[in-house]
A and B are shown apart, each in its own frame.
Chain A
Amino acid sequence: MEGAENAFKVRLSIRTALGDKAYAWDTNEEYLFKAMVAFSMRKVANREKTEISHVLLCNVTQRVSFWFVVTDPSEKHTLPAVEVQEAIRMNRNRINNAFFLNDQTLEFLKIPSTLIPPTDPPVPIWIIIFGVIFCIVIVAIILLILSGIRQRRRKDKGPSEVDDTEDKCENTITIENGIPCDPLDTKGGHVNDAFMTEDERLTPL
């Protein structure tokens, strides 16, 4: 049967998949395999009468690998490869699970496995993180610009206030050295502190 037209080679790597918990491959496991293949065939239209005895295994090696074919009820002809392939592909997941294996450790050598389609989240993760970082940066820039504007306004106001009070001082008669003219203003100019008393320690001009 090996290499026959409708035969498939199967290869199992039980120790790779399960490590210490690997089970031994014996005739019972072969029976389960035949049952799974028959089950898959029964799901195909026109093949609901497939029995376990219609699945034939041969050349079981120590690797564990073997060949199998599925015969029709008359047991004279083997079923076409295309049908068997289709059936196995549709039920691949259940066959894998029956043996605790996956597509890489339970290989059907001529049957390509269907890869899992990539599950793209609706919004890629990088955009979310980018949005967070970008918003923080923009907010920080705006804050810095605003604080810069406020600082500049305070600097502009500061020198102009000093100028106003100096003018007012000059309007009154005396020009003092370093004496703040604010007390003069608040007193409404009635009392001229500069000429008050000799007690005031004022430096003569």
Chain B
Amino acid sequence: MALAPGPDLLGDGSGDERPKWDNKLQYLLSCVGFAVGLGNIWRFPYLCQTYGGGAFLIPYFIALAFEGIPLFHMELAIGQRLRKGSIGVWTTISPYLGGIGLGCFTVSSLIGIYYNTVLTWVLWYLLNSFQNPLPWSACPPDRNLTGFVEECQRSSSVSYFWYRQTLNVTADINDSGSIQWQLLVCLVASWAIVYLCIIRGIETTGKAIYFTALFPYLVLTIFLIRGLTLPGATEGLTYLFTPKMQILQNPRVWLDAATQIFFSLSLGFGGHIAFSSYNPPRNNCKKDAVTIALVNSMTSLYAAIIVFSVLGFKAANDHGRCLDRNILSLINAFDFPDQSISRDDYAAVLAHLNVTQPERVAGLGLESCHLEDFLDKSASGTGLAFIVFTEAILHMPGAPGWAVLFFGMLFTLGLSSMFGNMEAVITPLLDMGVMPRWVPKEVLTGVACLSCFLASIHFTLHSGNYWLEVFDRYAASLNLVIFAFLEVVGIVYIYGMNRFCDDVAWMTGRRPSLYWRVTWKVVSPLLLLTIFVAYIALLARAPPSYRAWNPQYDQFPTQQENVYPGWVQVTCMLLSFLPVLLVPAVALAQLLVRHRRKKKAALQDMHLKPQDSGAC
């Protein structure tokens, strides 16, 4: 184990050359921007909706207190203390643990590659929002100009725009198709924007973060005011937030709450370690950790209010149109005067007709319109952003303006998360001295961005959406949990809990209390282990499958459930386990190197000894 360097020595040594934050606000905004991302908008509200509304907040805040905040504090503290990126930190703690840092670095690169593709899609929608009417508002007419394109008519104009005109998705992951050039062009632009903002590391990121971290909050507030004044918003809010306590008996709720907190705070990437390594050595990282974690959770809640009010508006709208369709059928069939049945009279009229002419009414094929059915429709991820929300925006007055604001907000949210991601990749490279000293930092960041861009071209193929799901599910989830677990165990048991507490006391002025020590030693590792085991159990239960958009499917527009072909399953395994294998691989390599050095030293001693005896 390495000798403990005194705090002063470490502080002076690398403090002079290491870049610094201009002020504390930049650092806080960068961490907040990294933590607050697309998941706060499109994952948390979905979980709230699925798991009993307000009742979900209970497991969520418990997970925050016992898993999120302790792990977060630990990452910030270790980065600030050892003043290096993830690879440097772990090599300093113990050369045998360098694999953890290398693994975090690999996972961050993989995630950075596919995360920017989502930004590309957001950018594409943003660019298309500057027109009235919005391109996804109506189906395009078919070639004879007699009706609409069949695929669009059977699904909806919004789905058609997403699946056909944006992604041009194939029906099968095997069928790669060609590159969608519009997406490729947007991909170039989004990587150029990322490069522009991280070109000189935190010097440029620190300036860009003022806009990218604060703009989403401005837009969220504007949407809050708009959302709450929409008709149907209050019904949506009350229905979706009303707690349904019995759902807490389902263990899945607790698992998803723990997972959500973990991914929401962006733990295990090494990005927070990188950010805090640029801090002055004596900085109260405990206060920072608690503040940033709470800001992140409050943002999730804030976004959930907005999403629920817009969903309520959409449900009320859909319900109204369902009623209108039924009323029109009745009017046309029974020749009532135009507009003679209002939405309120509909129930009474239908009841009367059911009594007098039940066969005719049955023959009409009326839909059943209940508001709760529409409110229960939930969506997460890209489905929420690109299908549900875009449709809701269509019905707001001034739709293009709202679309621009919404996609601008999504873009800046994703961009600030990309900063953290790329810092997690670039800071270790800088610390390891991969490029010679005379190569300027701009070249290193340029090379990093260029390599990630070339790797992400694959996602602009027609099957790119399916591959993105593969990366999202297998490259990110398992690995981050494992690395966070190894981080906690490594710091608590190998670096030493007492040594770590001394460091924290030196940095913040106060020794960590019992709460911190218990959560670090016992609770958080246990929670992470449980998440990992549960994940494996869920994955092993069924062969991995995906949902494909297939116009030829007989139950179209429902998506077809396909099983992944063999070679894709192998890729999933590789993505899940290769980064983790780096840990034992590096440990083994270190063992061999040490072994060889010891042997060399022993041989040299043997050569020296006979000479000494001879001289004497």
Contact = CB atoms under 8 A, between A and B. Distances in A.
Interface of A: 11-16, 61-65, 112-118, 125-126, 129-130, 133-134, 137-138, 140-141, 144-145, 148-149, 152
Interface of B: 124, 127-128, 130-131, 140-141, 145-148, 185-186, 188-189, 192-193, 195-196, 199-200, 204, 331-332, 335-339, 440, 442
A113 B92 CA distance: 75
B332 A63 contact: yes
A133 B189 contact: yes
A50 B196 CA distance: 73
Contacts of B140: 118
Contacts of A116: 141
Nearest to A126: B127
5 contacts: A115-B146, A134-B188, A141-B196, A144-B204, A149-B440
B338 A64 contact: yes
A125 B147 contact: no
Nearest to A134: B189
B339 A130 contact: no
Nearest to B131: A125
A12 B335 CA distance: 11
Given A114-B145, A118-B141, A144-B196, A61 B335 contact: yes
B335 A63 contact: yes
A126 B120 CA distance: 13
Contacts of B128: 125-126
B186 to A, nearest CB: 7
Contacts, number: 81
A141 B337 contact: no
A56 B148 CA distance: 33
A145 B336 CA distance: 73
A152 B440 contact: yes
Contacts of B130: 125-126, 129
Contact of B339 (A15, A61, A134, A152): A15
Contact of B146 (A112, A144, A149): A112
Nearest to B186: A130
Contacts of A149: 440
A18 to B, nearest CB: 10
B332 A148 contact: no
Contact of B337 (A63, A112, A137): A63
Contacts of A15: 337-339
B192 A138 contact: yes
A129 B125 CA distance: 12
Contacts of B193: 137
A96 to B, nearest CB: 16
A137 B415 CA distance: 14
A137 B192 contact: yes
A63 B147 contact: no
Nearest to A128: B130
Contacts of A16: 338-339
A130 B336 contact: no
Given A115-B146, A145-B442, A148-B200, 5 more contacts: A13-B339, A14-B338, A63-B338, A130-B127, A130-B185
A63 to B, nearest CB: 4
Given A114-B146, A144-B204, A148-B442, A129 B196 contact: no
Given A112-B146, A134-B189, A137-B193, A144 B335 contact: no
A63 B336 contact: yes
Nearest to B140: A118
A11 B200 CA distance: 68
- For the complex of A and B, 7 pairs with smallest distance between CB atoms: A126-B127, A61-B335, A115-B141, A15-B339, A63-B335, A15-B338, A62-B337
Contact of A137 (B124, B196, B204): B196
Nearest to B138: A118
Contacts of A133: 127, 189
A20 to B, nearest CB: 11
A144 B442 CA distance: 9
Contacts of A63: 331-332, 335-338
A46 to B, nearest CB: 26
Contacts of B200: 144, 148
A92 to B, nearest CB: 13
Contacts of A130: 127, 185-186, 189
Contact of B147 (A112, A141, A148, A152): A112
Nearest to B185: A130
A145 B199 contact: yes
Contact of B336 (A62, A125, A138, A148): A62
A140 B186 CA distance: 18
Contacts of A140: 196
A13 B338 contact: yes
Contacts of A148: 199-200, 440, 442
Contacts of A137: 189, 192-193, 196
Contacts of B195: 141
Contacts of A117: 141, 145
Contact of B199 (A11, A141, A152): A141
A36 to B, nearest CB: 20
A27 B188 CA distance: 66
A64 B335 CA distance: 8
B356 to A, nearest CB: 17
A131 to B, nearest CB: 10
Nearest to A62: B337
A115 B143 CA distance: 10
A113 B336 CA distance: 25
Nearest to A143: B196
A174 B67 CA distance: 68
Contacts of B147: 112, 115
Given A125-B131, A148-B200, A65 B192 contact: no
B145 A115 contact: yes
A64 B131 CA distance: 37
B246 to A, nearest CB: 46
